[in-house]
Amino acid sequence: MATKRSRTIPAPGRPATEVLTAGFDPRLSVGSVRPAVFRSSTYVFRSPESAERAFAVSSGRADRRPGEDVDLIYSRMSHPNAEILEEQILPLEKGARAALVFNSGLSALATAFFRFLRPGDAILFTEPLYGGTLHMIHDLLVPFGVRAVPVQAGDTAGIAAAILATENLKFVLVETPANPTLTMADIASAVKAARRRKDRPVVAVDNTFMGPVFQHPLALGADLSIYSATKFLAGFSDMLGGVILGRDPEMVRSLKGVRSLLGTILQPDECWILGSRLATVALRMNKQSKNAERIVKGLRGNRRIDAIHYPTTARDPEQRRIYRAQCDFPGAIFSLEVKGGKKGAFDLLRNLRIIKSAVSLGGMESLACHPASTTHSSMTAEEMKASGVSPGLVRFSVGLEDWRDLLGDIERALAAG
Ligand SMILES: *Cc1c(COP(=O)(O)O)cnc(C)c1O
């Protein structure tokens, strides 16, 4: 037995300490400071009785007793590296009491949808929404008989009213700030509306853009905080992953049951990689956010730009209020509304030399993309218009390069267009 069962080592401390001490006992990995990678697909039972017990606990028929060491079974259900990572990541998310890791952000969302939605139910979601999530709702959930109810991210009163009015509402998905316009949605208000319903729907927040460092949905009352770990959590654009954190361990355990059936668990090697990135998430995100703030400041008033979308540049008083209420810092993503529509946007992308033209975000290298023709191209013209995905919109993810070089790159590319 070479792993896990961290409850044997209490790790008291603040998050930056706990992330380096929780979840892993070196004595169980022959003294190794870093966990070993356990790539086995199956695990040897100590006895027929302990195999029976492991299945009872795993299926939810019995509870694990405090300190009980239950045999592992099979890696689709769980494996040591997932268990280590799930304990390591807990202290990073305020209010989290249980975590699960997945092999992508979308597989985390798909697992949650399978758990909470049945034909005839409704899912309410803020728009704009990450392109892949929107695809999944339209191409998978709707054909299975789930009703999709979009609401505009910035419309706090409208979201609350829709949560109260939607029949058979089982799942509320709030993505904030929204991709790619950075529109913020009020998490606490959505939670309050959901709690006024007798058949309380689950409130989940896609926290990929700001969390876990700058925004804390569980502390605001949300049930689940969901991540594409591919982005800031992993941070090096070299792996896919997803995470769900929750306040209620029972709810998270029920998601684990669905994950076991779908096989959406993160693989051991990827768990090890992601685990090694957690201690630097706050360092990287703070630096990337500072870089973005400076670049946005430098671009203000540039005559080739019609607008800059960034949490601290919003003019709408409601957006400013939401920012103050739920974000600690503005983060590393901003979008520019370039003069000249699609041509202006394409010229900008073509002329960038340091910043690479690619989808994805949150990595240490800066990236830029044109949502209307790529990530959000499946939206209808009306959807794009309603949610501000305009032809001239270019989204930037700011990395760890020197911000002066990045600002110069954008200014030069704008001037060359
Ligand atoms: C990337 C992303 C996803 C999807 O995550 P994958 O890891 O690519 O599956 C979901 N939501 C947001 C906000 C994202 O940026």
CATH of the domain at 331: 3.90.1150.10
Do 193 and 67 sit in the same domain of this protein? Answer: yes
Q: Is the CB of 79 under 6 A from ligand 1?
A: no
What pTM was computed for the model?
Answer: 0.95
Going from the Cα of 186 to the center of ligand 1, the distance in angstroms, rounded, reads: 20
Do 235 and 127 sit in the same domain of this protein? Answer: yes
Do 219 and 316 sit in the same domain of this protein? Answer: no
Do 72 and 205 sit in the same domain of this protein? Answer: yes
Count Cα neighbours of 142 within 13 Å in the Cβ-side half-sphere: 11
Q: What is the C-alpha to C-alpha distance for residues 231 and 364, in angstroms, rounded to an integer?
A: 10
> Which residues on adjacent β-strands are paired with residue 265?
102
Residue 160's domain comprises: 4-280
Q: What is the C-alpha to C-alpha distance for residues 306 and 247, in angstroms, rounded to an integer?
A: 42
> Residues 6 or more apart from 378 whose CB is under 8 A from it?
131, 134, 135, 138
Q: Whose CA is nearest to atom 7 of ligand 1?
A: 105
Q: Whose CA is nearest to atom 11 of ligand 1?
A: 130
Q: Is the CB of 171 under 6 A from ligand 1?
A: no
Do 276 and 286 sit in the same domain of this protein? Answer: no
The tens-digit pLDDT sequence of the chain (417 residues) is 344 444 444 557 888 888 888 888 888 888 898 999 999 999 999 999 999 999 999 887 888 898 899 999 999 999 999 999 999 999 999 999 999 999 999 999 999 999 999 999 999 999 999 999 999 999 999 999 999 999 999 999 999 999 999 999 999 999 999 989 999 999 999 999 999 999 999 999 999 999 899 999 999 999 999 999 999 999 999 999 999 999 999 999 999 999 999 999 999 999 999 999 999 999 999 999 999 999 999 999 999 999 999 999 999 999 999 999 999 999 999 999 999 999 999 999 999 999 999 999 999 999 999 999 998 888 888 888 888 899 999 999 999 999 999 999 999 999 997
Q: Is the CB of 230 under 6 A from ligand 1?
A: yes
CATH number for the domain spanning 138: value is 3.40.640.10
Do 368 and 222 sit in the same domain of this protein? Answer: no
Do 333 and 320 sit in the same domain of this protein? Answer: yes
* CB contact at 8 A, 265 and 82: yes
Answer with the one of 280, 315, 336 that is the final residue of a domain: 280
Going from the Cα of 361 to the center of ligand 1, the distance in angstroms, rounded, reads: 9
Do 240 and 306 sit in the same domain of this protein? Answer: no
Q: Is the CB of 133 under 6 A from ligand 1?
A: yes
Answer with the one of 231, 250, 280 that is the final residue of a domain: 280
Structure tokens at 295: 């670049």
Q: Is the CB of 359 under 6 A from ligand 1?
A: no
* CB contact at 8 A, 233 and 86: no
Do 16 and 150 sit in the same domain of this protein? Answer: yes
Do 322 and 198 sit in the same domain of this protein? Answer: no
Q: Which of 398, 388, 414, 417 is nearest to 154 (CA)?
A: 388
* Cα dihedral 379→381→387→389 (10° resolution): 80
DSSP helix/strand/coil, 284 = helix
Probe ligand 1: pick from 106, 205, 225, max atoms within 8 Å of CB?
A: 106
* CB contact at 8 A, 238 and 279: no
Strand residues in 223-313 grouped as ranges (E):
224-228, 242-246, 305-309
Q: Is the CB of 126 under 6 A from ligand 1?
A: no
Q: Is the CB of 235 under 6 A from ligand 1?
A: no
Q: Is the CB of 390 under 6 A from ligand 1?
A: no
Answer with the one of 280, 306, 330 that is the final residue of a domain: 280
Q: Is the CB of 270 under 6 A from ligand 1?
A: no
Do 371 and 234 sit in the same domain of this protein? Answer: no
Structural domains of the chain, count = 2
Q: What is the C-alpha to C-alpha distance for residues 42 and 297, in angstroms, rounded to an integer?
A: 54
Q: What is the C-alpha to C-alpha distance for residues 142 and 241, in angstroms, rounded to an integer?
A: 25
Place of tokens 């952000």: 105
Do 260 and 319 sit in the same domain of this protein? Answer: no
